[in-house]
Structure 1
Amino acid sequence: MPELTSFTQPSGGADDRANTAGAPAARSPRALTTALRPDGDRVGVKVCGELDLDTSERFRSALREALSRSVRGVDLDLGGVSFCDCAALNILLALRQQALKQDKTVAIHVSSTAVDRLLALTGTQALFADPDGESPAAEDTRITGDFDEELRIEVAQLRRAMRTRPTIDLARGVLMASFNLSPADAWTVLVTVSQHTNTKLHTLAGDLVTAVQGEALPEELREQLSTAVAKVNSVDGESRLR
């Protein structure tokens, strides 16, 4: 396998290694789980866990499968979603567009606080209204003694997402420079290796950036990386021959 091209990561401050003094620690990420359930001519999808960049491909795949199996559309239960960012919203919007082309609908029947806030902030709640005219049912968001704590946790999670994204972008640059990949192919390689090694996307990205600074990658990771790069190159080669 070719050696990774040297790529310098900007030095970070103490905030890159630890939370700011006094800031609450973010909770450990919950694994994403999805369950599909046929319901007449529609398919229900129950989602639990965190919806972010790391889990976006699994979320997208589950929704695509549900849409393809349905006759009239997809009903979502997002009551178990503890974190939701714009990556998940983009997937929902793309699914809605695809559904409309097939004369289907996508409705959110149950919405957690995290999902409801994102939809409210972006003004997209009405796009996922129940086909029967009911609005998405959000969790009770009345101000309680736990509200401030929930807000602090949410802010900590958002900070975590902001810290990991630059590293992921650096890793994409490393792969593009090392293997002459396009931005899209570099992203495909990252996601593929992350899934096959059961490694968080931002953790894998950090390993790749560290590798170009002299630290060797584990053998399993090198093998998966070689396989993923060879696969995207093969696909690109077949496309050029057509």
Structure 2
Amino acid sequence: MDSAAHTSLAGRLIPLVIQGRTHAGRAELRPRGELVHGCADVLDRTLTTLPDGVRRVELDMADVVFMDTAGLQFLDLLDDYGRRRHIPVTTTHWSGQPRRILELAGLDTTDPLSTAPRPPGPGAATPGGSAVARERAEQLHVLREEVDQLRRAIVSRPVIDQARGILMAAHACTSEDAWLILRTTSQLSNTKLHTVAAALTAGTGTDGPPPPQEVRTALRTAIRSCLR
């Protein structure tokens, strides 16, 4: 049993595949790839192929390497599937960035579909509650910054890929060489990598402005250094 689709991340097509098998009334599924736009459609196609006799669905999430808010829709679909059929559905073995997104969303990182424990009733004492709350707030702040950085990286990646292509065509170099040139230019000119890539891309247009002088100087030095 395989379901696959192509989802776009950073301007590239990356396959999301859900492999699985059924045995003794249990469906064992293993998603591979990224939970981004389109992942719920892949899951829906997988679930519709499950036989009627399935009494339990287990997903091993160890091979999921990236997740954005579309991953929460993925989980909602699973939860709805289990509730409508009155069968248990579990998602386990979360790790890396997807696990941190679950933490940010306040979900159980062992199995976000499990029932969360009820909060203590009124008047129940929670030792060190204020300290725990402060620590939790700090963790959420760090996680939000990390997610923002990932979003900015996704947005800027197409421009960087375009700049790499320009360098590869102009200097007959490899993709790795072009990447090294961009990084070196960024470091020498003390300019953000995305800004360097955007300036280089804009400068190739017919009426595009040339890159700033410091970027041009750093770029020439980087090309000589990296393509020796």
Quick check: TM above 0.5?
no
Q: Larger relative contact order (C-alpha < 8 A, sep ≥ 6)?
A: 1
TM-score where L is the length of structure 2? 0.42
* TM-score when normalising by structure 1: 0.40
The structure with the larger Rg is 2
